[in-house]
Amino acid sequence: MIAPSGSSLEIDYYLERVGEALADLPLEVREDLMEDLPAHFVEVLEEQGGSLVERLGPPAAYAAELRAAAGIEAGAGAASTARVDLERLRGRLRIADERGGRLIGYERATDFLRLLRPAWWVARGVAIVVLIFAMDILPSDRIDDPLGWVLIVAAVIASVRLGAVGRPRMHRFVGYGITALGIIGVLVMAVNLDQLGNSQSYLPQASSNPYQGIVDVYPVDQDGRPLQNVTLYDQNGNPISMGDAWRCYAGQGPEPRATPAYPLCPLGRTAPSEGTAPQPTTTTTPTPTPTPTPTSPPTPTPTPSASVNPSPSGSPSASG
């Protein structure tokens, strides 16, 4: 095959359509028939200007004229076994295409995909701009300001124009490159969306957070002594925020800090609820318990001894 230097998307597109219209021919016959067309189309465009469709008519009509003038009947030509296999594969793909299409209400599945092409044009425009910012070719934080929006709008317009009109004409490999960049960009966007979802799961209302039930943290040292004003950090050096920093704020004293110091509610104020925090075991001075101390001999209470005075009402003893 001769590689035409002035090839363009327009020529590729036209050739593709011509090739489709000749798809029933064995590959050898078709290739032979189309061998010189790329170079020829380059000359047509160079000498006559305009578009190929304007100059040559619809690709299908061009293919029909080519076939008729070359005197080739449909499906003519001896096909080698490898070609037969290839044709059979093609046939199967065509059948799958038609069956898949019927499933979603189209003649062919590719008809449906073709309808989605404008969506792809828009997506690849956005994706490539996103990629430019993601790779920090332009500062990535500017994608949200007018610069980002202007670039996205411009890219979408250019991409749709390229897709729909085939202009500006560019080399086939540039086209492949744009497609590849578009796909990469879409993947980058997909990954970023995923990250967005993950960051939301750090919010306390997320159900997957195993610490969501914790309202306070009571750190103790190795001897079980409660610690005050403890700040916890994760592996990245970011302070860990758990519990409700406002829980014990009574409107007095310094407001709770962004970096919480645990316990949020110091022990004296609100005791940890039973079972959730370790009971601090006091090993310091034991509070005196009221044990009975040996008292001094009892001071005699000045009670009148009644023993001296015989009861005036001396009841007649039973002796009488």
Partner 1 sequence: MDTTQLLKGVLDLAVLAVLRDEDGYGYDILRRLRSAGLDDVGDASVYGTLRRLFQAGALTTYVVPSEAGPHRKYYALNAAGRAQLAQSGKVWTGFAQTMDRLIGEEAA
Interaction site with partner 1 (CB under 8 A): 2-6, 32-33, 35-40, 42-44, 46-47, 55-56, 62-63, 65-71
Q: Which of 286, 272, 289 is nearest to 226 (CA)?
A: 272
Least distance CB 69 / partner 1 (angstroms): 3
**Dist. CA 27–CA 97, nearest whole Å:** 20
Least distance CB 7 / partner 1 (angstroms): 8
Least distance CB 92 / partner 1 (angstroms): 30
- Contact yes or no for 162/117 (Cβ under 8 A): no
Q: How far is CA 64 from the centre of its chain?
A: 50
Q: Output 77 or 266, the one with its CB closest to partner 1.
A: 77
The long-range contacts involving 29-37, CB below 8 angstroms and separated by at least 24 positions, are 29/72, 29/76, 29/77, 33/66, 33/67, 33/70, 33/72, 35/1, 35/2, 36/2
Least distance CB 84 / partner 1 (angstroms): 21
Q: Output 39 or 248, the one with its CB closest to partner 1.
A: 39
**Dist. CA 108–CA 106, nearest whole Å:** 5
Least distance CB 170 / partner 1 (angstroms): 17
Least distance CB 186 / partner 1 (angstroms): 35
Q: Which of 92, 96, 122 is nearest to 110 (CA)?
A: 96
Q: Output 55 or 161, the one with its CB closest to partner 1.
A: 55
Inter-axis angle of helices 172-200 and 9-21, to 10 degrees?
Answer: 100
